[in-house]
């Protein structure tokens, strides 16, 4: 990466006007950066320009005058030192293809999207690397951790991690994003950080199902613990470091998403546990619950790699094979008895 001697002069573009993209863009704008901000919806652009608020995805938050919204993605990403991407995982490839060729080779690309692509089983930085050639691998950074957009927007103390194979790039992202209420750590395990942030959404759906069924805290604690085991197993099979899953992007994000009222994935699971069908639930949602699509990726990837992930498999069956939640719980509880700890 090119050395930037004065970090305050960093040219930044943010792609994605959902709740998370808006919260992060506004964090940077409040810090004093002039932020070019790509949003898909014209109504969102107009709202930010006219009333300094994203009523569609982040209502009630006053946005900085340093935020410059646009529907022209080329204007937002060209001639930038850092481009932050926070779009839904299922459109990441489309967006990456659009901006390929517009990004300068020294640009730091930060993914704040959590998900695993269906069919390719690539994490989001993997999709970006594949679609944007010519950028050094170390310039791709993943930003992840326990962080609800609404709380970040309200300046609630939050801690996340920036992962890159280049320690200088990770440290640069750390410096750009860090504020007195948003603490950023660095990590060199990109695979582990991205997997933790992705698979926890599947486990969060399961936690919601448990709550929707009216089961207890014992059940939730067991689910979170065994869910973390599944995340770690998949991570090890893909070369991640086990210790990563004890950190912010692992157990930290898992706890938040499985227990927090602001979790969209938990909300989907809870409604399923209460008897609603997935199609009906999704028809009522404008924002994306990433775990729904990631559940399919995790199911197929774990079968391909031979990784045992019983909770994730039952969530896949509930979502895509219309299996009863009560049947899924019974099947999990009556599996063959075994030792708790894996060898690794």
Structure tokens, 272: 């399923």
Structure tokens, 43: 């109504």
Tokens 């708790």, located at residue = 340
Q: Whose CA is closest to 17, among 30, 26, 8, 5? A: 26
Structure tokens, 32: 């004093």
Structure tokens, 224: 């979170």
| Cα 125 from chain centroid (whole Å) | 11
Tokens 């932050």, located at residue = 84
SS3 of residue 271 by DSSP: helix
Q: What is the DSSP letter of 18?
A: S
Reply yes or no on whether 200 is catalytic: yes
Across the beta sheet with 140-144, what order do the strands follow? 67-70, 35-38, 12-15, 82-85, 108-111, 140-144, 158-163, 182-187
| Cross-strand pairs, 161 | 144, 185
Other Cβ atoms less than 10 A from the Cβ of 133: the count is: 9
Residues contacting 101, CB < 8 A, separation 6+: none
| Cα 55 from chain centroid (whole Å) | 22
Residues contacting 192, CB < 8 A, separation 6+: 163, 235, 240, 241, 244, 245, 249, 250
Catalytic residue among 45, 80, 114, 200: 200
Q: Write the burial class of residue 134 (CB in 10 Å: 0-12 exposed, 13-18 middle, 19+ buried).
A: exposed
Buried b (16+ CB within 10 A) or exposed e, 94-110: ebbebbbebbeeebbbb
Catalytic machinery residues: 200
């Amino acid at each position: 990466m090119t050395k930037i001697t004065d970090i305050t002069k960093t040219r930044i573009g943010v792609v994605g006007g959902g709740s998370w993209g808006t919260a992060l863009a506004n964090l940077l704008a409040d810090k004093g950066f002039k932020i070019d901000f790509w949003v898909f919806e014209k109504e969102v652009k107009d709202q930010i320009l006219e009333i300094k608020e994203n009523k569609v995805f982040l209502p009630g938050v006053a946005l900085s005058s340093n935020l410059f919204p646009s529907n022209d993605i080329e204007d937002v990403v060209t001639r930038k030192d850092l481009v932050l991407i926070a779009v839904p995982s299922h459109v990441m490839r489309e967006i990456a293809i659009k901006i390929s060729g517009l990004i300068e080779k020294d640009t730091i690309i930060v993914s704040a999207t959590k998900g695993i692509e269906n069919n390719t089983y690539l994490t989001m930085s993997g999709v970006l690397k594949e679609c944007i050639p010519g950028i050094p691998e170390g310039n791709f950074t993943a930003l992840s951790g326990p962080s609800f957009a609404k709380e970040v927007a309200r300046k609630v103390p939050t801690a996340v991690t920036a992962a890159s194979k280049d320690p200088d790039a990770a440290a640069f992202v750390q410096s750009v994003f860090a504020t007195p209420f948003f603490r950023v750590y660095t990590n060199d395990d990109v695979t582990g950080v991205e997997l933790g942030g992705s698979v926890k959404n599947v486990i969060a759906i399961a936690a919601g199902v448990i709550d929707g069924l009216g089961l207890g805290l014992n059940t939730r604690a067991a689910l979170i613990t065994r869910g973390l085991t599944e995340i770690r197993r998949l991570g090890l099979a893909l070369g991640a470091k086990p210790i990563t899953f004890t950190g912010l992007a692992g157990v930290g994000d898992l706890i938040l998403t499985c227990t927090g009222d602001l979790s969209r994935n938990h909300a989907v699971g809870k409604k399923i546990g209460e008897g609603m069908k997935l199609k009906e639930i999704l028809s009522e949602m404008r924002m994306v619950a990433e775990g729904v699509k990631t559940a399919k990726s995790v199911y197929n990837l774990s079968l391909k790699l031979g990784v045992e992930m019983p909770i994730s498999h039952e969530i896949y069956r509930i979502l895509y094979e219309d299996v009863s939640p009560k049947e899924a719980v019974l099947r999990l509880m009556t599996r063959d008895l075994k030792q708790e700890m894996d060898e690794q």
